[in-house]
Homo-oligomer: A and B are copies of this chain.
């Protein structure tokens, strides 16, 4: 096997999250040969700022670069399908941002294509890779909580609180029919399926658009920027500012999650609690290096991330000793270490320890059910066709063990 340092990568998208991909890849020792920006000019500027050697003019040039074995896709959602399709067809491994595609039909195509090519395919559900979430999964699936009964939580942000806040995610043509659900709700739901080993079987959703007219600036806007601009035009908004969703899981658990991008003061607050028949577990992304374990007949516990005390996967995901907080950036290094172990090995492992396109597709299916439920005001089952792909979603893998 080649050393990790012999692997070459390229990153599409140079915004906030594209930068994280570039830096996390370099951290773990992967060569990032170039980036592809939204325009050649922007790509060149960002490449220089990031200290990346090259900015590709377009995807064709990128795919013609033989040093590149893996391509990371962090462009707006509407580009995920065409770019990822081209990457796979050019026989490159791919790591794609969530949501995987604009619709479940699109993501199904990507799952099928990835299976056909036999290439490595990963969806960047990075929150899984906080060491304590890896530990939580092992704790829950090992049965330490007893039967999982109740799965609750939220994902709140405030960067779209005001009518003057704008981002491409607000445009259904670029972000998809679901906005808050697709952008952050998908993280929460993937995480819960990952930790519990149970897929979501049915949903009952309420979507709310409190700000029905927003001001679109005439210039470009960075994600998470909260600055306002003078020149703007009014746009009608159809996608949800917030969502309230009730959930039924395949293994019998019930749940609920609240999702919002208009909760003042909550910058990026994902919380979950999983209540089992014996114990509970809870985690908060604003304090990610500790996890709460609830007990009925003894004191509750707070476990700090601790390689000496966590499960094997939890320890594997930790780069630092206990008490040395690991954050959002570190999750990407942990994620990419898992993916690139497969890259070094030459192809996807039988049961990848990272989220695959199948996992990304599963969240698209849940999203479809959410949309339908909200429109029809009733419980809607998540419709899954029997999957035969070699990289089936996590929960299926779990169930078959």
Contact = CB atoms under 8 A, between A and B. Distances in A.
Interface of A: 3-5, 16, 20, 23-24, 26-29, 48, 50-53, 145, 147, 149-150, 152, 154, 156-159, 161-162, 204, 206, 208, 210, 223-227, 241-242, 244, 246, 254-256, 258, 260, 262-269, 273, 275-280, 285-290, 292-304, 306, 308-309, 319-330, 333, 377-379
The list of the 7 closest CB pairs from A to B, nearest first, reads A265-B294, A268-B323, A29-B51, A267-B323, A224-B321, A325-B327, A267-B322
Contacts of A266: 275, 280, 294, 323
A26 to B, nearest CB: 5
26 contacts: A3-B48, A16-B320, A24-B27, A26-B29, A27-B27, A29-B52, A149-B208, A149-B242, A149-B262, A158-B294, A204-B246, A206-B246, A223-B321, A244-B255, A263-B280, A264-B276, A264-B278, A265-B296, A268-B323, A286-B289, A286-B304, A299-B303, A320-B327, A326-B327, A327-B329, A377-B378
Given A50-B29, A289-B286, A280 B294 contact: no
Contacts of A262: 149-150, 275, 277
Contact of A264 (B20, B208, B296, B379): B296
A302 B304 contact: no
B51 A286 contact: no
A275 B286 contact: no
Contacts of A378: 377-378
Contacts of A303: 299-300
Contacts of A296: 158, 161-162, 226, 264-265
> Assembly of this chain: how many copies?
4
A266 B227 CA distance: 33
A264 B326 contact: no
A321 B267 contact: yes
A193 to B, nearest CB: 18
A324 B267 CA distance: 8
Contact of A328 (B26, B308, B324): B324
Nearest to A210: B149
Nearest to A23: B27
A309 B304 contact: no
A342 B205 CA distance: 45
Nearest to A260: B150
Contact of A246 (B145, B244, B301): B244
A263 B275 contact: yes
Given A256-B256, A302-B299, A327-B330, A294 B16 contact: no
Contacts of A154: 152
A292 B299 CA distance: 10
